[in-house]
Structure 1
Amino acid sequence: MGTTVISGGTDGLGRALAAHQLRAGETVVVIGRDAGKFRTLAAIAPGRAHFVQADLRLVQENDRVATHIAERHPRIDTLFLAAAHVVRGRNLTTEGIEHNLALYALSRHVLADALLPQLSAATRPVIINTAVPGAPRTAIRWDDLTLAGAYSWRTANHQSRRANELSGLALTKAEPRLKYVLYNPLFVRSSLSGDLSPAHRALTRVLFRLAPTPEQALTPILALLTDPPAGRLSAYTKKKRLPLEITPEDHAEALRWTELTTRLRAGL
């Protein structure tokens, strides 16, 4: 059987996938903040369930986690990127990086890039990134990545989404056999981790009552893992495949993103 690594695997879709994979006989590595939430997952298959505690907002933590996993798991078949923690106001990590870019983009790129040799050892390596595809091509503020000049949650969200698209382009160029899926599950019931105002939290709770459970929302994801899509980079909203128009300018910007992340990692 294979090995699945899941960031954000103690809640929501990540947890549902971890439980499914463990019951299917897979080895599963969950990366998260709360070891307590992992205990019931570990009980499913004590010998095959592993937990790595980390604050994935920090680039150095992602590199540490990747090194830890790589030393113990020489082959990774699936990398599922779903760590989430909502912060709507402008907030910088202790490394000086804007929260949304740090957690929703940099973390996912650093983990995937650092684990690329282990993914390359698999017959059919797949990365599923729960980043919403379709950000504007101009979304990254290259001269003001912390958005000090003009911050809004929408601007920060678009910037991290675009960065994930560039990451997918860069990683599939580095490993042509890799299938990289940008996947938008829409609303799925979860624990609402994050800094939400009472009004936003109340609205989200109402929406969640109408949303599928993580187990119900998992079906299209399992289909993508069983039968990965054609093409190196693809985008989905639930079961619907979205068109991706990749230009030479996109590839050039993906290289710029890779060079930026390399400099950041070297400088920390």
Structure 2
Amino acid sequence: MAIVFITGSTDGLGRAAARSLLDAGHRVVLHARSADRAASLGELAPRAAGIVIGDLRSAEQTRSIADQVNAIGRMDAIIQNAGVYPEGSRGSTPEVHAGVLAVNTLAPYILTALIDRPSRLIYLSSGLHRGGEGSLRDLDWTKRSWDPAKAYAESKLQVVALAFAVARRWPQVFSNAVDPGWVRTRMGGPGAPVDLDTGQRTQTWLAVSDEPAAKVSGRYWHHMRQEQPASEAADPEFQDQLIASLGALTGLALPEA
């Protein structure tokens, strides 16, 4: 049985993935952005191998999350599930970054750099990432007029590129990106066409399955099938430039193999 850390596991896809893994006998480390949110875990809390707390909008708290996970022990897999949907304004984090960039891109990067290297990494993206090319010209939206949909799409392309960059740098780790589809969650809304079980299935399978089909790296998945991502996300030059930019923004280098 595996031990799996899931970011953003108090509701939605993260909670569904946690329940699925726990029901299958795996150990799960849960994440909540605050103590109040952790209190909403209900029956999942006593079943968890641990609960870590921190707001992914804050780089300092994200680093604390990494420390808390490392104190529990080495994870077999990490599902980078947490994310925010398009926001009406750029916002400003404690480090003065755009909120969407901080949660959807910088936090997964920081956690990847600081948490003891697992055997498997899964990053949740979106089919909307295909509208996110060209972000390196103004990664943090300090020069452009704010465009919520574009900012979200860029962040989801960046996380695919991050998954692929990790696959190239760490060949001993299975690193993949997943598009769960438009799921009936608080974020997706009640009219979304995909149910929670379908939405969580691919990432939990990639996290723990011993099937040869699941033990691959540098792939983009949608509902248990591999798909071709946006060309920029699959471009090694873009991946390397993105990693360098994220390193500069966070002050953290992504370790080499």
TM-score range (shorter-chain normalised) is 0.7 to 0.9
Provide structure 1 residue ranges, at least 5 long, that are not aligned to the other structure: 120-124, 193-203
Q: Post-superposition shift, 1:60?
A: 2.1
Cα separation, partners in 2 of 1:151 and 1:184, compared to 1, 3 Å? same
1:224 has 2:206 as partner: yes
Aligned residue for 2:29, secondary structure, equals strand
Cα separation, partners in 2 of 1:224 and 1:246, compared to 1, 3 Å? same
- The TM-score with structure 1 as length reference comes to 0.80
Match of 1:207 among 163, 188, 191: 191
1:164 has 2:151 as partner: no
Q: Is the Cα–Cα contact under 8 Å of residues 130 and 230 in structure 2 kept in the other structure?
A: no
Encode CA deviations 1:146-188: one digit per residue, 9 max, x unaligned.
2542221122012212211221122122210222221111122
Aligned residue for 1:31, secondary structure, equals strand
The separation in 1 between residues aligned to 2:215 and 2:25, in whole angstroms, is 26
Q: Post-superposition shift, 1:207?
A: 1.3
Identity value in percent: 20
The AA in structure 2 aligned to 1:126 is R
Aligned to 2:235: 250
Aligned to 1:41: 44
Cα separation, partners in 2 of 1:88 and 1:141, compared to 1, 3 Å? farther
Q: After the TM superposition, which segments of 4 or more aligned residues of structure 1 sit over 6 Å from their partners?
A: 245-249
1:118 has 2:117 as partner: yes
Give the alignment of 1:3-18 within 5 angstroms.
3-18=3-18
Provide structure 2 residue ranges, at least 5 long, that are not aligned to the other structure: 253-257
The separation in 1 between residues aligned to 2:138 and 2:150, in whole angstroms, is 14
Give the alignment of 1:67-216 within 5 angstroms.
67-73=67-73, 75-86=74-85, 87-115=87-115, 117-119=116-118, 125-132=119-126, 134-135=129-130, 138-143=133-138, 145-192=140-187, 205-208=189-192, 210-212=193-195, 214-216=196-198
Q: Is the Cα–Cα contact under 8 Å of residues 60 and 265 in structure 1 kept in the other structure?
A: no
RMSD: 2.6
Aligned to 1:60: 60
The AA in structure 2 aligned to 1:152 is D
Cα separation, partners in 2 of 1:266 and 1:219, compared to 1, 3 Å? closer
The separation in 2 between residues aligned to 1:161 and 1:261, in whole angstroms, is 14
